[in-house]
């Protein structure tokens, strides 16, 4: 197993919803970009929800999030993991999500991207979280049991009021 470390949050004073993954993939960490694996469906889902063209570069993806008041981070700050599999995550240390939310009180909902993010989040923060949170199916292409269309519908319901 290899020790890996998450990226810094993408958030600003206009953010209304915080999307939390478990830990970026190996490709994402190499690029220092959230959802940097081209097979991950995250950016397709976000573009569809907000009826936006697919951005040509990462800087434009970050701008798209800001425009639509969406923030990104991960539940885990660091962990041991084999390749990019959430199933192999061990020895996790958690990001300080409560402090982030205190600094950005305009965030009114958390969206948990995938089962591992949900399990980790609820284990540590579920009992103390003062704002609502909702689980959505993982945007990973490894989550093939649910179609892209179904993912978009579920994600849209989770963040439908954000604009």
User: Domains of the chain by range and CATH?
Assistant: 2-159 (3.40.470.10)
Give pLDDT, residue 66: 97
Instruction: Kindly tell me if the per-residue pLDDT of 2 is higher than 90.
Output: no
Q: pTM value?
A: 0.93
Share of the chain above pLDDT 90, in %: 72
Q: Give mean pLDDT, residues 9-20.
A: 97
95 is catalytic: no
**Could you tell me the CA-to-CA distances from 154 to 5, 59, 75, 113, 137 in Å, in that order?**
29, 26, 20, 11, 8
Cα angle at 154 between 148 and 157, to 5 degrees?
A: 140
CA–CA separation, 156 vs 139, rounded Å?
Answer: 13
Question: 40, 68, 95, 113: which is the annotated catalytic residue?
Answer: 40
Confidence of residue 141 (pLDDT cuts 50, 70, 90): confident
Give pLDDT, residue 163: 42
Give the CB-side neighbour count of residue 143, counting CA atoms within 13 A: 20
CA–CA separation, 78 vs 74, rounded Å?
Answer: 10
């Amino acid at each position: 197993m290899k020790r890996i470390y998450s990226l810094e949050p993408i958030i600003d004073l206009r953010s209304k919803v915080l999307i939390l993954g478990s830990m970026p993939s190996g490709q994402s960490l190499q690029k220092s970009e959230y959802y940097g694996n081209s097979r991950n469906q995250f950016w397709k889902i976000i573009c569809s929800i907000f009826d936006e063209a697919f951005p040509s570069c990462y800087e434009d993806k970050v701008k798209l999030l800001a425009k639509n008041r969406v923030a990104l981070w991960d539940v885990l700050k660091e962990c041991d993991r084999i390749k990019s599999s959430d199933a192999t995550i061990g020895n996790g240390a958690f990001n300080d999500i409560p402090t982030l939310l205190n600094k950005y009180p305009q965030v009114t909902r958390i969206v948990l991207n995938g089962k591992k993010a949900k399990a980790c989040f609820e284990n540590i923060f579920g009992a103390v979280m003062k704002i609502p949170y909702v689980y959505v199916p993982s945007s990973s292409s490894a989550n093939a049991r649910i179609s892209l269309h179904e993912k978009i519908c579920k994600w849209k319901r989770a963040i439908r009021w954000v604009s």
